[in-house]
Amino acid sequence: MGYPAKTIIYVAGSETFGGQRVLIPLRAMFTNTVDHTSLCSERELSELFGPETSLIPKSYRAPPAKSQKVLTDEWKRAGPRPRPLPPPPDRPIYQHEKEGWYAWITETPIEPDPSPLDLRMRAHRLLWDALDYIVSLEADAFFPGFNNDASGWPDFSSLVMGHRLYETAASRTYRPDRKVVAELFNITRENMYHPKHNWTILVQEHLNRSLAEEGLIRQSLLSKPAVFLSHPLPECSCRIASSKVVNHVRGQNGRYLYGDEDQCPKWMQRANMAGSVLKEGTKSEDDEPDYESNDFVDESDKSEGKTNQSQIWDQDEEMDPND
């Protein structure tokens, strides 16, 4: 895309899938690739976290190793011969294997209470996420790694793209189509390190289109029906005064792609209907009709009563008591 090698790239979000080894080619191309751990010094991090008391780290202690004599005695006390060979020794358990949810998932069915150190690390992650959000929001260009996972909940990239669109719509915010990007990567399977020139041109054209109206409209159609915060376009205000109306862009079906809408979106209409139903269900007792009084008679009951009464009078006229 024409960015020089001295460009500062900030890797935001959680830990990269695959670890730091995946970022080795990126760091070789752009040496100024940083994240919240390498960008901030220890003093800046301590000022961000505030004063904290020292806690004893929760270290994992491996079980003591058995001596050769103990192993020999166990082998002699084993079952009847012939016996299979003893199993090979277990591999060493590392510290990172006893951190997080996978540390207890194979040992106990109930999640243990978090230790004070775990609670502190969760608080630190919240501060790191806030720092990543601020840096991504004020960056000159933003490229989402993974967004719109169809879970229905707003993710980090979608919130940043929506906020950047609302605050600084002219900033560079790439909105690539993952299906197109996957197809482009599959093309370079044979020439991964030396792609063809036309492949580079295809990638540049797709990313440039994602910056223009095509990427904006596509992201609007995907994100707006799911969650309002991830794509706050002006039509969320439903109606705009006629003096402020700008040029509208319509799609093939005649629907406004962006601009003001004559009607509220469907999700807002459903929310209004749900709110009205709740209000009707919480009426006061004074508004409820008194079913014990004789003043309240339903129209259907009146009509049914008339028909029943007319049938009784007809029967009385036909019946003669002298017969």
- The pLDDT assigned to 52 comes to 81
Q: Which residues in the chain show pLDDT less than 70?
A: 57-63, 81-83, 95-96, 99-102, 147-153, 191-193, 220-272, 274-323
- The pLDDT assigned to 64 comes to 78
- The pLDDT assigned to 251 comes to 65
CA distance 145 to 11: 9
CA distance 118 to 123: 9
- The pLDDT assigned to 83 comes to 66
CA distance 32 to 28: 9
Angle among Cα 186, 192, 197 to the nearest 5 degrees reads: 90
- The pLDDT assigned to 313 comes to 44
Which pTM does this prediction carry? 0.56
CA distance 162 to 91: 48
Pick the closest to residue 253 from 209, 217, 216, 298 (CA basis).
217
